[in-house]
Structure 1
């Protein structure tokens, strides 16, 4: 599964990645805040189709289905930050979003761990060419009882390819830029999610990342550490 990742890019970089991005370079927002240790239940960027192209929006990472009857997202006890490609179209939390509310979650990289639980070694993965990664996602709208709407999302995960399997048996389902439109529009299905992933690179990082949210604003969080 994928339970931690990073999003650190400028408006210009995300515009180049997601052409065309309808809300690129909004002067009132300035630059994008880089984040290096994003954990579930916090807000992340997602890309949605929009008039004139695509739109970068914010959503809670951890999908809350529209049918949930609780008063707060904290009351939803299921782990929905990942959706397994094998069965998300059958799960009540995800199947409606798969039909009509798809997104792309841009990532600068993601983390996985090896070793014993008491002393886990964190590894950081990013595209070998340095480009952002496009992770297939689903999103949903849920309303609090008082009427406030909460937008949330999940990232799709698949079985790891041979290279990534040395570290973990699962990995995000990456989309190639040429497949962005087909995924977002719903004109293509799961076949896009099992394509050969982009070439990745990996290195060990400091164990501070083992703590949720630690170093989220610090670029040193993803710097290589070698023993």
Structure 2
């Protein structure tokens, strides 16, 4: 389960790499200023790339779908296996750019925090799903998970899905659903290092 991640990149990097991947971002309203964030947590707003019919758009959406029942936590991860996620008016596929994502190990507090990053690129684009809000609430998103790849398996029994850049356009736009994108990353795709949280002031 991935319940937090790092978002330290700039809009220029996103524009350049999504253009190279055949999913150019629609920036007709101007380039937003993306402040670097060390840890995006559930209910935080974060950059998400969605779109249909070949037009990719960046939006700030809330991390985690609303809780399914009172006092429950937001739904930040969705199991991907055996499911179809189509692009519709109020929901669809998206990519969540992250400079690293966190997993935790240990049975006692504080648990060990591990950060996973792309071994070569400035950021990973994780497969996600967005949904429009109800009753005046803003849109939100969740990350898809599947069996972990070799890099993540020693730390967790589920893994998020980094989409290779050559498949970004397929994930955002392709119909029918590109089920083959739902796959764990190959060994060596990511680096991993312990990254304790800074002490509270």
> What is the TM-score normalised by the length of structure 2?
0.82
The answer to whether the 8 Å contact 1:8/1:34 transfers is yes
Cα distance change, pair 76–119 in 1 and its aligned pair in 2 (3 A)? closer
Q: Report which of the two structures shows the higher radius of gyration computed on alpha carbons.
A: 1
- C-alpha separation between the residues in 2 aligned to 1:122 and 1:78? 20
- Counterpart pick for 1:196 among 164, 168, 185: 185
User: In structure 1, what is the equivalent of residue 152 of structure 2?
Assistant: 164
- Structure 1 unaligned blocks of 5 or more: 69-73, 90-94, 216-227
Structure 1 runs of 4+ with >4 Å offset? none
- C-alpha separation between the residues in 2 aligned to 1:32 and 1:24? 17
User: In structure 2, what is the equivalent of residue 59 of structure 1?
Assistant: 61
Cα distance change, pair 122–195 in 1 and its aligned pair in 2 (3 A)? closer
How many Å apart are 1:52 and its aligned residue? Answer: 7.2
User: In structure 2, what is the equivalent of residue 112 of structure 1?
Assistant: 103
Alignment coverage as a number of residue pairs:
191
Cα distance change, pair 39–51 in 1 and its aligned pair in 2 (3 A)? same
The answer to whether the 8 Å contact 2:62/2:140 transfers is yes
- Counterpart pick for 1:81 among 65, 76, 81: 76
- Counterpart pick for 2:45 among 43, 46, 59: 43
User: In structure 2, what is the equivalent of residue 128 of structure 1?
Assistant: 119
> What is the TM-score normalised by the length of structure 1?
0.74
- C-alpha separation between the residues in 1 aligned to 2:26 and 2:104? 37
How many Å apart are 1:83 and its aligned residue? Answer: 0.6
- C-alpha separation between the residues in 1 aligned to 2:53 and 2:151? 39
- C-alpha separation between the residues in 1 aligned to 2:36 and 2:106? 29
- C-alpha separation between the residues in 1 aligned to 2:118 and 2:28? 23
User: In structure 1, what is the equivalent of residue 2 of structure 2?
Assistant: 2
SS of residue paired to 1:143: coil
User: In structure 1, what is the equivalent of residue 93 of structure 2?
Assistant: 102
The answer to whether the 8 Å contact 2:148/2:184 transfers is no
- Structure 2 unaligned blocks of 5 or more: none
